[in-house]
């Protein structure tokens, strides 16, 4: 599968089914009690994180993803069928945005986010029966489902991110450290997409995940080479390993890499320097590098020298960072879902002269109203009175005959 880390498409919840108008017909009872059932709720479009997927490719060419509509209610108090939910699997580390910003961060297996809720089914006439209204002949319409354009952005989740110039041996290191088999080649830009490996040796209490990304070059943050597009995949790593080819001007390489990390806003990440390919160096050069790079680890992905020590160093640093993160509450990787909702009632006079009433509740009621039915319209008007909309319109200066709009519906104020 192709590695795709950004897609956008429209999600639309299913419309709720309409309520039904029906009367129980029994023998000798020309008009029995109202028994119109409720419409079924529309299905929702749901995103679900799964480790089985590592790319957003399945959504690359999708434009609109819709959930099923709810069935209409019917007589004998039968509720309409619920609309079918559509569950979209997404890789772990998927961030969900819409035009208002970040909506959800799906980082754990099975975590779900309802991207577009289905519309509520309308009530049937049986629900409007009361001691004073024995035979209501109106019902509600089902509500349309939510609709919005979402943008999914994948950020590979790892504990350690390997960052280096092309050909430094990052992929070879990932192979040496884990059971992963990323492509290795003796030419730059062998790696074109991030890959992950789990370091899970026997006897290790805490397995950890290492991410290998394509090589960076000077100017990557301005879009050179494969650009810094892939840096975002290590942006959430807890530790960055700066991988240097020990035989190819490692000092210069380190400067280039640190500059790119700074440009990408990652200079505050904890780092560990790794000098790779030391199998090619003599003892004198190794001694020189020990002084030039204090604290760096000397390894050879090829011969395996120093790899065990590197694994151990990663493990220790991660455990240390975990303790620090645990100490600060900000370190908790809580699942966050943001769903701003505005629940007020607002009346505004538009420059064209009509009055616009907005508010989630009242707009829902307008959408549910069956305008074909006189009784349904009367019911709507009673709701306007009861919820203070009529009073609010008067306060705003509306007079009988003025045009009022609520949730796309127009009528005259009386």
Ligand X SMILES: Nc1nc2c(ncn2[C@@H]2O[C@H](COP(=O)(O)OP(=O)(O)OP(=O)(O)O)[C@@H](O)[C@H]2O)c(=O)[nH]1
Q: Which residues bind ligand X (CB under 6 A)?
A: 164, 166-172, 184-186, 188-191, 214-215, 276-277, 279-280, 300-302
CB 161, CB 233: distance < 8 Å = yes
Instruction: Closer to ligand X by CB, 58 or 188: give it.
Output: 188
Instruction: Closer to ligand X by CB, 278 or 389: give it.
Output: 278
Instruction: Find residue 147's DSSP bridge partners.
Output: 12
The alpha carbon torsion through 234, 235, 238, 239 (nearest 10 deg) reads 60
* Smallest distance, ligand X to C-beta of residue 358, A: 54
* Smallest distance, ligand X to C-beta of residue 261, A: 16
Instruction: Closer to ligand X by CB, 15 or 311: give it.
Output: 311
Single residue of 20, 22, 74, 171 touching Mg ion by CB under 5 A: 171
The single residue listed with the structure tokens 């080479």 is 225
Q: Which of 202, 224, 197 is nearest to 213 (CA)?
A: 197
Q: Does 191 engage in binding with Mg ion (CB under 5 A)?
A: yes
Residue 287 contact partner, candidates ligand X, Mg ion, none, CB within 5 to 8 A by sort of partner = none
Residue number of the CB closest to Mg ion reads 191
C-alpha–C-alpha distance, residues 345 and 358, integer Å:
6
* Smallest distance, ligand X to C-beta of residue 276, A: 5
What residues have CB less than 8 Å from 391, skipping those under 6 apart?
none
Instruction: Closer to Mg ion by CB, 69 or 175: give it.
Output: 175
Instruction: Closer to ligand X by CB, 172 or 271: give it.
Output: 172
C-alpha–C-alpha distance, residues 194 and 230, integer Å:
7
Task: List strands edge to edge, sheet with 64-66.
Answer: 64-66, 6-12, 147-154, 94-98, 101-106
Residue 167 contact partner, candidates ligand X, Mg ion, none, CB within 5 to 8 A by sort of partner = ligand X
Instruction: Closer to ligand X by CB, 288 or 338: give it.
Output: 288
* Smallest distance, ligand X to C-beta of residue 212, A: 6
Residue number of the CB closest to ligand X reads 215
Q: Which of 10, 207, 211 is nearest to 93 (CA)?
A: 211
Q: Which of 47, 43, 42 is nearest to 59 (CA)?
A: 47
- Which of the ranges 171-179, 233-241, 395-403, 405-413 carries the binding residues for Mg ion, by CB under 5 A? 171-179
CB atoms within 10 A of CB 130: 8
Q: Does 178 engage in binding with Mg ion (CB under 5 A)?
A: no
* Smallest distance, ligand X to C-beta of residue 329, A: 37
What residues have CB less than 8 Å from 7, skipping those under 6 apart?
56, 59, 60, 62, 151, 152
* Smallest distance, ligand X to C-beta of residue 230, A: 10
Quote the tokens at residue 109. 């297996």
Residue 189 contact partner, candidates Mg ion, ligand X, none, CB within 5 to 8 A by sort of partner = ligand X
Q: Give contact residues for Mg ion (rule: CB under 5 A).
A: 170-171, 190-191
């Amino acid at each position: 599968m192709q590695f795709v880390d950004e897609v956008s498409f429209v999600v639309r919840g299913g419309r709720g089914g309409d309520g039904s108008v029906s009367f129980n017909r029994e023998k000798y009872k020309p008009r029995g009690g109202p028994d119109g059932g409720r419409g079924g709720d529309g299905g929702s479009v749901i995103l679900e994180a799964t480790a089985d997927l590592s790319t957003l490719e399945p959504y690359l060419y999708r434009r609109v993803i819709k959930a099923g509509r709810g069935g209409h209610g019917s007589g004998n108090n039968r509720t309409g069928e619920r609309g079918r939910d559509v569950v979209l699997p997404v890789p772990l580390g998927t961030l969900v945005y819409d035009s208002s910003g970040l909506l959800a961060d799906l980082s754990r297996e099975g975590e779900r986010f309802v991207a577009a809720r289905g519309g509520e089914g309308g009530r049937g006439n049986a629900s409007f029966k009361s001691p004073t209204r024995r035979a209501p002949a109106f019902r509600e319409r089902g509500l349309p489902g939510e609709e919005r354009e979402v943008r999914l952005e994948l950020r590979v989740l790892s504990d350690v991110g390997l960052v280096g110039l092309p050909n430094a041996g990052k992929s070879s290191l990932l192979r040496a450290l884990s059971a992963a088999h990323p492509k290795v080649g003796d030419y730059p830009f062998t790696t074109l997409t991030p890959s992950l490996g789990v370091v899970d040796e026997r006897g290790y209490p805490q397995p950890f995940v290492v991410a290998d990304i394509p090589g960076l070059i000077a100017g990557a943050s301005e879009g050179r080479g494969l650009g810094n597009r892939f840096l975002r995949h290590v942006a959430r790593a807890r530790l960055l390993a700066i991988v240097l080819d020990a035989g190819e001007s490692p000092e210069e390489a380190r400067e280039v890499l640190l500059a790119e990390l700074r440009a990408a806003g990652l200079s505050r990440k904890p780092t560990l320097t790794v000098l790779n390919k030391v199998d090619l160096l003599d003892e004198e050069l190794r001694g020189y590098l020990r002084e030039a790079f204090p604290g760096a680890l000397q390894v050879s992905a090829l011969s395996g020298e120093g790899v065990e020590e590197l694994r151990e160093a990663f493990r220790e640093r991660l455990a240390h960072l975990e303790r620090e993160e645990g100490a600060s509450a900000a370190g908790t990787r809580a699942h966050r879902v943001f769903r701003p909702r505005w629940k007020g009632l607002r009346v505004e006079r538009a420059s064209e002269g009509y009055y616009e009433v907005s508010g989630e509740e009242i707009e829902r009621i307008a959408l549910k109203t069956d305008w074909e039915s006189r009784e349904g319209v009367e019911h709507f008007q009673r709701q306007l009175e009861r919820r203070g909309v009529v009073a609010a319109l008067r306060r705003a200066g509306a007079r009988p005959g003025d045009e009022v709009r609520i949730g796309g519906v127009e009528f005259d104020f009386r």
